[in-house]
A and B are shown apart, each in its own frame.
Chain A
Amino acid sequence: MSWNLISLETIFYLAGAVAIIASLKVVTGKNTIHALLYLVVSLLAVAVCFYLMGAPFAAGLEVIVYAGAILVLFVFAVMMFGLAKDETRHAPQATGLSIWVGPVTLALVLLAILIFAIDDASIQQKLTANIVGARQVGALLYGPYLLAVEIASFLLLAGLVAGYHYAKPDGQGGHL
């Protein structure tokens, strides 16, 4: 197959297929941590889709906030649950490559897509032609959407207070 046949659409569909497969593995997973790893791969695939759709700022936010912050919150919470009744203990121990070969394969496909998209001149030309950059987003965010930003900050503050209050141990006045 000639390299010229691989167009922007093709690698978009490839990244979308990776996202769908990883999401299916999240939904059907048995082990919590493995499902979280697949969720990270799914979010990274969606970030690649954003990049290919001409939204590099949203792609960066997806990686930093979703895959970086929210998923780490999930991992911390799973650690706090205590693994006494978790399925992890009943999972087969030390099965070698079989546990992580799935997420690694999907992530390598994503890496190949990204490297190809950066390397290929015609795809870069197509991408830069219709980009909606961070400058436009920022100008709109702090112009007409200023009230929405304030409401979002209220929402985050409410989430912070509620999370702190609900997760307090019983002895410290955390009764619901």
Chain B
Amino acid sequence: MTAIPLSHALVLACILFVIGFVGVIVRKNTLFMLMSLEVMLNAVGVAFIGAGSAWQQADGQIMFILILTLAAAEVAVGLALLIRMQRRFRSLDIDKLSQLRG
């Protein structure tokens, strides 16, 4: 059994996830929303690593690696779209996106 209880790792993951979630909801700057998304994905990683360490299995770390690749792809596409948005609207305000026509 590990030294750190699973519940404490899960509490840390929940706190980090809520901080990131509040950031996504509250901020209007799209770049800060992306950064808050990173915090949320990171919190999910903490939960997986904590669970993997509680059961002494490597599966948690494998899920963390998959989350890592997901975060990398998401950031690449998200930042490219943000560059696009900055060129078109001269702003990173998320409310400007309501002008888009489908």
| A interface residues with partner B (beta carbon < 8 Å) | 7-9, 12-13, 16, 19-20, 23-24, 26-27, 29, 32, 35-36, 39, 42-43, 46, 49-50, 52-55, 57-58, 61-62, 65-66, 69-70, 73-74, 77-78, 80-82, 84-85, 126-127, 130, 132, 136-137, 139-141, 145, 148, 152, 155-156, 158-160, 162-167, 170, 176
> What are 15 inter-chain pairs, A to B, with CB distance below 8 A?
A8-B4, A12-B8, A29-B32, A53-B4, A53-B49, A58-B61, A58-B64, A58-B65, A81-B83, A130-B2, A137-B58, A137-B61, A155-B73, A163-B76, A163-B77
| Chain B residues whose CB sits within 8 angstroms of the CB of A62 once the complex forms | 45, 68
Q: Which residues of chain B (56-88) have a CB below 8 Å from chain A? A: 56-62, 64-66, 68-77, 79-84, 86-87
Interface residues on B, range: 35 or more
CB distance from A48 to the nearest CB of B (A): 11
> Across the A-B interface, how many residue pairs have beta carbons closer than 8 Å?
183
What is the interface of chain B, defined by CB distance below 8 A to chain A?
A: 1-4, 8-9, 12, 15-16, 19-20, 22-23, 26-27, 29, 31-32, 34-36, 38-39, 42, 45-46, 49-50, 52-53, 56-62, 64-66, 68-77, 79-84, 86-87, 90-92
In the complex where A132-B57, A140-B62, A166-B83 touch, is A70 in contact with B71 (Cβ < 8 A)?
Answer: yes
Give chain B's interface secondary structure class: helix
Chain B neighbourhood of A20, CB < 8 A: 12, 15-16, 19
A55 to B61, CA, bound (A): 7
